[in-house]
């Protein structure tokens, strides 16, 4: 098994299958803001596709794409922008893979109605392939025996980097061990929110929920606007 970090995505190569893993997309976020009275433009989708173009220019065609949940943003139903953008992103991904698997997130209660509009797209609470278990991460799901790697979304991990001149937040992966398994927490792909600082007390509550000792997890920071991922060492040793 080979796992590599490509920008905000994972590329898992297992048993000859290349699987691109994508964190939370939160499509429809802009219309959701508009409905609440916040006036924002709607350029996120085109920006997102530009990022994926860059990723596929590096990794090429893959066998599968796994979406780690929260594909859509709005809780209370399906709004027009979600309907359109989810179908558009499915059509885009279909050009780059043979199979699309969606792991259902807590924002995806009404996603099945959209998924049914496209043939060959699967939706499940968890997805296990060749010893790798993919779940959303909002709640603990038993993956069963034989699982070597657990991959989660939902948490939106990020880390603040600062010096005397500026202070910036970057999306990051958290990678560690838990009960003999490798655990990878994937950042959101969503550009509207950098994420939650991993040294924040609220973030540590996520770890307690699963029983992870996050201080022993490695922090891998995604460079701004590129595909490079930098190893920042153990979370417990990061300077504040």
Count of other CB atoms within 10 angstroms of residue 112: 11
Tokens of 166: 């500026």
pLDDT in tens, 61-102: 999 999 999 999 888 788 889 899 999 999 999 999 999 999
Q: How far apart are the first and last CA of the chain?
A: 34
Whether the CB-CB separation of 206 and 199 falls below 8 Å is answered with no
Q: Which pLDDT value is given to residue 75?
A: 80
pTM of the model: 0.94
CATH class of 2-237: alpha beta
Whether the CB-CB separation of 227 and 7 falls below 8 Å is answered with yes
Q: Which pLDDT value is given to residue 102?
A: 97
Rounded to whole angstroms, the Cα distance separating 175 from 217 reads 5
């Amino acid at each position: 098994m080979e796992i590599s970090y490509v920008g905000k995505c994972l590329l898992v190569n297992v048993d000859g299958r290349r699987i691109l893993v994508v964190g939370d997309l939160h499509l429809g976020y802009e219309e959701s803001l508009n409905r609440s009275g916040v006036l924002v433009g709607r350029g996120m989708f085109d920006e997102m596709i530009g990022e994926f173009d860059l990723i596929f220019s590096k990794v090429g065609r893959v066998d599968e794409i796994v979406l780690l949940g929260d594909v859509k943003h709005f809780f209370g139903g399906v709004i027009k922008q979600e309907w359109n953008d989810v179908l558009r992103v499915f059509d885009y991904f279909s050009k780059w893979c043979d199979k699309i698997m969606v792991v259902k997130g807590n924002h995806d209660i009404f996603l099945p109605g959209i998924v049914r509009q496209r043939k060959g797209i699967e939706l499940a609470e968890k997805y296990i392939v060749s010893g790798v278990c993919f779940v959303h991460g909002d709640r603990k799901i038993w993956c069963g025996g034989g699982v070597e790697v657990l991959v989660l979304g939902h948490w939106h991990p990020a880390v603040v980097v600062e010096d005397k001149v500026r202070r910036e937040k970057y999306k990051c992966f958290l990678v560690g061990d838990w009960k003999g398994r490798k655990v990878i927490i994937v950042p959101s792909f969503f550009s509207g929110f950098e994420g939650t600082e991993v040294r924040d007390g609220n973030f540590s509550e996520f770890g307690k929920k699963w029983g992870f000792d996050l201080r022993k997890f490695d922090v891998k920071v995604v460079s701004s606007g590129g595909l490079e991922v930098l190893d920042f060492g153990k979370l417990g040793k990061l300077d504040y």
